[in-house]
Amino acid sequence: MSGNSTVASHLPRGFQAAGVAAGIKKTGAPDLALIVSERDCVAAATFTTNVVQAAPVVRGKSQLASPRATIRAVVINSGCANACTGTAGLADAEETARLVAEALVRQHPSDNAWRITAEQVFTMSTGVIGVPLPMDKLRAGIPAAAQQLSPQGLNEVARAIMTTDTRPKIASIDRGAWRIAGIAKGAGMIHPNMATLLSCILTDAAVEPALLREFLHQAVAVSFNRIVIDGDTSTNDTVLLLANGAGGIAIETPGQRNTFQQALNDVCVNLAQQVVRDGEGVTKFITLRITGAHDEHMADQVGRSIARSPLVKTAFYGEDANWGRVIAAAGYSGAAVDPNKMTLWFGPVKTFEAGEPTDYDEADASAAMKSDEIEVRLDLGLGEAETVLWTCDLSHEYVTINGKYRT
């Protein structure tokens, strides 16, 4: 499995991609991505649960409302979220899709297979809220991207969708008969409440629509729904999964389904962890395991409370084994926990048990906190259910980045 964002990854069969600088970002960095399939794709997506939803989210939900909807192209711009832009924003998203369809026809004027409709073009946006899409730049950038489409364009696409990300995020698996490749962007406004980022995942396997939706739902549940950077849920969050069947292999039997599901899970977990590792101002990658819960809901409820606590996160940044903050966050999670049954470890160091601190060595606990990667385990002592989340610390740099995001 390839999760290294610096290694070029081939797209699955039948896909081409490109990333260009259209001038949306003031820096001149790449900011427009285009992914195209040579044949119709079955599609599945998960969207933000924020009731304030960007125009591309509203449009995408409408597109995929039909279970037999097909997608041929995805266009993603960074630098402008096209959120809170009213009816004009929806019109701009529609025009963006139309521009893609027209550009592809111009690239292949004599090939009827490329005569796609705007309804087959999926749009995504990321960046500042409340700013209209600069359509003049998209009118020039989309044809330029169409001219640069390539089966080796995955790295360029991953770079073009970045905002405060410091590096592109790519993961892929090649099973020979079929492949899965995915990209993601995300470094802030990350909280496990659907899929708080943008991600596009592609496969050349043939999968029926209902089964594809099931695959994506399960993969998101164990990956993008298990990460926390700052507790914020964005207006644009979307994870899109496309299957074009160009590999000629249909996913049908129970064995094929299990193999495909595990591969998709692995790609999504890899991308989700890359998002956390590249979080805004992050210096610590934290694996948080909650065990001994009555059920998974309880474990998840406790874990999320701890993972989004500013006091817990700043303690990790300061390399302070402040176990009291973790126990307190579990206590106000809303779950029916019992401190007298809890046990807490920072790495191998047991710091709290049965309602009071252990006789641990403070130096050992401090040493455990100095690692770039830390595992924290809280056993609730109430049952057999458990869960895992991936989170990070909260640094001065996070405040600097977000305090000046629009400037």
Q: Is 345 helix (H, G, I), strand (E, B) or coil?
A: strand
Q: How much of the chain is helix, strand and coil, in % rounded to 5?
A: 35, 25, 40
- 219 Cβ neighbours under 8 A, 6+ residues apart: 261, 264, 265, 267, 268
- Our answer to whether residue 196 is catalytic in this structure is yes
Helix (H, G, I), strand (E, B) or coil at 18: strand
d(Cα 9, Cα 202) in Å, to the nearest integer? Answer: 12
φ and ψ at 232, to 5 degrees?
-95, 140
Contact between 42 and 209 under an 8 Å Cβ cutoff? The reply is yes
What is the dihedral sign for C-alpha 201, 220, 316, 309? Answer: positive
Distances (CA, A) of 276 to 262, 304, 332, 381: 21, 14, 24, 28
Q: How far apart are CA 6 and CA 8, in angstroms?
A: 7
DSSP 8-state symbol, 288: E
The tokens for 22 are 């259209």
Residues ≥6 apart with Cβ < 8 Å to 119: 63, 97
48, 196, 203, 291: the active-site residue:
196
* DSSP three-state, residue 150: strand
Catalytic residues: 196
